[in-house]
Amino acid sequence: MKQISQKIIDYAIWYYLKYYPSPKKFANKLKQKFGPDSEKWKIYGWITDEEIDFIIKEKLSSIVNEDEVIRSKIRLYKEKGKSKLYIKQKLYERMEQKDLIETYLEEVFLDWEQENLIKEYKKLEGRFEKQKIIEKLFRKWFNYDDIKKLF
């Protein structure tokens, strides 16, 4: 593997810490910025897949733990009152590793999902009829089976 320009490494670290993209999106951004089709490759050389892997594994792993990024995003969504399905969808859109998402969601959402559903139900209980409450809860990404158990 050839020597990677320090400018490429600096940009990669800056971009990752600013946006916390998934590894796939991160690799796509580096290819877009420093790939053979970009203007910057003439100055810094273009970046290969092996070099991107090197940056992710060697340079970024000492700065950022990807598992902790996923966990912190789950905690952030949970604190905002988002449902498990909503969080799962958002993390899948981010192209995270699906097995890690499932594992961490199960850790965080042992009993919380039901508690959150009851809390949302109590907010709507006096103001709407049963069918309207079910529709509103379903639109908030709660599982339909959990909603049915509530009634």
For 107-129, how does the pLDDT look when each residue is reduced to its tens digit (9 = 90+)?
Answer: 777 666 677 777 888 888 888 88
Q: Is the pLDDT of residue 1 over 60?
A: no
Residue pLDDT, tens place only, 23-66:
788 888 888 888 777 777 677 777 888 888 888 888 877 777 77
What does each C-alpha distance from 35 to 41, 44, 116, 135 come to in angstroms?
A: 6, 10, 46, 48
- What percent of the chain is modeled with pLDDT above 70? 93
Q: Is the pLDDT of residue 96 over 70?
A: no
65/145 Cα distance (integer angstroms): 35
Find how far residue 71's CA is from the centre of its chain.
9
Helical residues (DSSP H) of the chain, grouped into ranges: 6-19, 23-34, 41-44, 49-54, 66-79, 84-93, 98-108, 112-124, 130-139, 144-150
Q: Which amino acid is at 64?
A: V
Decide: 16 and 60 in contact? Cβ < 8 Å. Answer: yes
Residue pLDDT, tens place only, 9-34:
888 888 888 877 877 888 888 888 88
